[in-house]
């Protein structure tokens, strides 16, 4: 009897030590909160819980520590000051700055260009992204002006790179942050009221949300580990069941995910995921994810990229992982300017930029032009015809039909103010007070208008002078004829 009880006790202890881990950022949970709980029904690698930290700590040899990462980011900024800017979007629970590298030919200056962001290390035990993003930044620095793709990106995109969203989780060798919260379950959800309490959100989550309020991102991607696939929205379903749940821009997201997958040899040949891409809800639903929140609230097309089957590969595998993912990362950023519809929106009454909205017929999703330059960058799957509409309260909407090929198209809109029955403008782009910045923007972006006005004035003046000269010549001729008229009358013909 004692022997049976002893064996039963040991079996229970043995089962307890097993810790499940799965793909797409790790453990799955039936709970929709961000707190980490285990789910033995999910397949995955099994690690003894008591050795989990020790094993990961051994694997961390060769990876940058948080201090190493900070020094590497600052060193990059010092090495490439002409095309980079280093800034922080906030701090982690333990007070570690969340450093960002901006890469552009005009870093820190707002331009009529699309912006893209990369985020790594969302989960603390998925550190490959933080290493690869440093390599990406340095590659752009080394190849700007030499490599056409690097030059295209730096000159035409504002690229923002956050290597580590979760430095505390990395330090603790755990998935969640220092409060043991899964940051990819901590965002407001479209179906459930989880995470609606602003005070309960984690500082890392708040930093990302505030970041998107300050910068108008066109697209983004977060780097994860545990699988090899490009994941796109929707991530969850309204009934919490697992099935393909398409967002309004499903075709565009499949195109973007395929851009990444096709450039990654192993990902594109996936036997588990057709074409190396997957709809999130079809894979498995999650709630409070960053990807869906970006699309709904930020107007930002975000992918969740699983870039390594192994969550924490040995450091000597990092060069190989970099080579496998390099072209995928570069091509994903470059697609912002290589395809899609881009342009600016102006008011017809005075030519002022209008922060109007851009909609596409039969796609229930609207993006807004920027406040400063009224530029828009609408990502769309190429090879189809689209009806693009620009609209703004107080102005008449305008639309145009385009056939989007593989290359990007530029479509500008000039909106006419609505005239009331009384004959006044319902709203005018000239009604607002202009600050110096707005005046400089207009002068910068309307040099042709100034030139055309000047040339028109010159032509008008020349025409008027010609008219005066001709009139004077006619008057002189008539006076002369009147003076010699009698003599001519006596001449015989």
SS3 191: coil
Residue 351 to residue 412: CA distance in whole angstroms: 12
Sign of CA dihedral 132, 137, 140, 141: negative
Tell me the HSE value of 218 on the side-chain side, using a 13 A CA sphere. 29
Distances (CA, A) of 458 to 340, 443, 452, 461: 40, 20, 10, 5
Contact (Cβ atoms closer than 8 angstroms) between residue 111 and residue 373: yes
Residue 431, both tokens: 């009604």
Neighbours of 426 (CB within 10 A): 12
187 three-state secondary structure? coil
The conformation of residue 12, written as its DSSP 8-state character, comes to H
Q: What are the Cα distances from residue 79, in Å, to 76, 97, 117, 147?
A: 5, 21, 21, 18
E strand map for 44-203: 45-48, 84-91, 97-103, 115-119, 158-162
Q: Report how far Cα 339 is from the mean position of its chain's Cα atoms.
A: 14
- Please identify every residue annotated as catalytic: 306
Strand residue runs (E) in 233-300: 277-279
Picking from 335, 339, 152, 149, the residue whose alpha carbon sits closest to that of residue 259 is: 335
């Amino acid at each position: 009897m004692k022997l049976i009880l002893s064996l039963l006790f040991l079996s229970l202890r043995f089962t307890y030590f097993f810790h499940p881990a799965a793909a797409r950022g790790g453990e799955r949970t039936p709970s929709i909160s961000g707190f980490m709980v285990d789910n033995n029904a999910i397949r995955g690698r099994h690690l003894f819980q008591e050795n989990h930290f020790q094993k990961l700590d051994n694997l961390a040899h060769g990876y940058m520590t948080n201090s190493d990462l900070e020094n590497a980011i600052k060193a990059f900024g010092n090495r490439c000051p002409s095309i980079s800017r280093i800034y922080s979007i906030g701090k982690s629970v333990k007070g570690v700055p969340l450093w960002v590298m901006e890469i552009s030919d005009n870093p820190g200056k707002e331009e009529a260009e699309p912006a893209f962001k990369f985020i790594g290390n969302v989960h603390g035990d998925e550190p490959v992204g933080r290493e690869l993003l440093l390599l990406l930044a340095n590659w752009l620095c080394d190849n700007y002006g030499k490599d056409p793709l690097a030059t295209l990106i730096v000159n035409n995109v504002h690229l923002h790179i956050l290597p580590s969203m979760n430095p505390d989780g990395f330090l603790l060798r755990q998935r969640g942050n220092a409060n043991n919260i899964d940051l990819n379950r901590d965002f407001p959800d479209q179906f459930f009221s989880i995470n609606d309490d602003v005070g309960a959100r984690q500082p890392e989550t708040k930093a990302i949300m505030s970041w998107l309020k300050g910068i108008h991102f066109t697209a983004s991607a977060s780097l994860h580990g545990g699988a090899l696939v490009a994941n796109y929205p929707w991530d969850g379903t309204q009934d919490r069941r697992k099935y393909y749940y398409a967002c309004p821009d499903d075709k565009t997201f499949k195109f973007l995910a395929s851009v990444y997958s096709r450039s990654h040899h192993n990902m594109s040949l996936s036997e588990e995921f057709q074409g190396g891409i997957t709809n999130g809800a079809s894979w498995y639903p999650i709630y409070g994810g960053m990807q869906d929140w970006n699309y709904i609230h930020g107007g930002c097309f975000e992918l969740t990229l699983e870039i390594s089957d192994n969550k924490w590969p040995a450091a000597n595998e990092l060069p190989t992982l970099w080579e496998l993912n390099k072209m995928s990362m570069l091509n994903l950023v470059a697609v912002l300017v290589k395809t899609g519809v881009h342009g600016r929106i102006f008011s017809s009454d005075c030519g002022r930029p209008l922060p109007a909205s851009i909609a596409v017929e039969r796609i229930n999703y609207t993006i807004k032009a920027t406040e400063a330059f009224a530029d828009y960058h609408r990502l769309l799957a190429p090879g189809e015809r689209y009806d693009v509409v620009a609209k703004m309260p107080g102005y008449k909407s305008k639309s145009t039909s385009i056939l989007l090929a593989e290359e990007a198209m530029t479509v500008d809109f000039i909106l006419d103010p609505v005239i009331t029955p009384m004959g006044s403008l319902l709203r005018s782009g000239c009604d607002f007070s202009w600050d110096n910045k707005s005046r400089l923007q207009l002068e910068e972006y309307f040099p042709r208008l100034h030139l055309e006005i000047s040339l028109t004035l010159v032509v008008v003046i020349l025409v008027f002078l010609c008219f005066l000269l001709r009139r004077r010549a006619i008057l002189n001729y008539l006076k002369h004829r009147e003076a010699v008229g009698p003599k001519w009358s006596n001449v015989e013909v």
